[in-house]
Amino acid sequence: MNTVSNTTGLIETEVVNIISSVTHLSANQLVQVRDLAKLGLDVLDVLDVILEVEQAYDITIPDEVPVYTVDDLVDYVHRQLGNVAGTAA
């Protein structure tokens, strides 16, 4: 497992970097727009992003978890890391 932070700000930075590397969108675009569909990502793009986030954080994001925005990913990762650490999210 990669060593990653469980603070929301750092998770957001890391998730934005992952999305940017997978989609070749600038981090600035991702921070300003945040809605993955409005950024032109299709279902396969989002799946690629989810797989990279899962690998980076050693978590599983179930199919039923809605992932429409950058914040959806950040919030889910934060909750999972909080659960692993035994803290309330």
CA neighbor of 54 nearest in space, from 83, 14, 85? 14
**Domain-embedded: residue 53:** yes
CA neighbor of 11 nearest in space, from 41, 53, 51, 49? 53
> In this predicted model, what pLDDT tens digit does every residue of 45-67 receive, in sequence order?
999 999 999 999 999 999 999 99
**Domain-embedded: residue 80:** yes
Count of structural domains, the chain: 1
* pTM, to two decimals: 0.83
**Domain-embedded: residue 2:** no
Domain limits at 15? 8-85
**Cα–Cα distance for residue pair 15/33, rounded to 1 Å:** 14
Q: What is the pLDDT of residue 84?
A: 63
Q: State residue 69 phi and psi, 5-degree precision.
A: -135, 165
- CATH number, domain of 55, equals 1.10.1200.10
